[in-house]
Amino acid sequence: MGEKGEQLGVMPLYQAREVAGAHGLDLVEVAATAVPPVCRLLDYGRFKYEQAKKDREARKSQKTPVLREVRLRPSIGAHDLVSKVRVIGKLLNAGDKVRVVVVFRGREITHPELGWRLLQGVVESLKEVAAVEGRSVMEGKRMVIVLAPGALPKTRKAKGQEWLSY
């Protein structure tokens, strides 16, 4: 094939090299398994540049999932919890996974059920937006649960969840 895509026909290799040299182009083998092999005349440097440009554009449009972390305490206030849940909802809507951590200090560790109830409340209030990956796990003095983006939130708010606004 020529530089504009036109067929040049079947020719020996030495003749194809001469044609490529006369036009100042490179002879590139496109289909090696075909009989006879299919070659093309093109500027290989420019071809590689165009391919790299396409690859960069493709990478720009891809979003890598990020694991974000939100920390809570078992004695968190109601308003603080609402704002933390709102932040978690925004992160999930942005497509990130969220690791919700309840940090126990001092004697709080003797009541892990408080942390578990807190995590269950967060999961329950985000059930329309998030999917739970695994179950809550204790890691030392921390109780952890990972939330992944699930279904998009509905336009109408569920009854009893008027305080959640994204």
One DSSP character per residue, 81-148 reads HHHHHHHHHHHHHTT-EEEEEEEP-GGGGG-HHHHHHHHHHHHHHTTTTEEEEEEEEEETTEEEEEEE
pLDDT (tens digit per residue) in 84-114 = 999 999 999 988 899 999 999 999 889 899 9
pLDDT (tens digit per residue) in 135-156 = 888 888 999 999 999 864 444 4
Domain range 13-61, CATH architecture = Roll (3.10)
What CA–CA distances, in Å, run from 161 to 52, 126, 127, 128, 150?
A: 49, 10, 11, 11, 18
Q: What is the pTM of this model?
A: 0.55
What residue segments make up the domains of the chain, in order of their start?
A: 13-61, 67-149
Query: 101, 117 in Cβ contact below 8 A?
Result: no
End-to-end CA distance of the chain, in Å? 57
CATH superfamily placement of domain 67-149: Translation initiation factor 3 (IF-3), C-terminal domain (3.30.110.10)
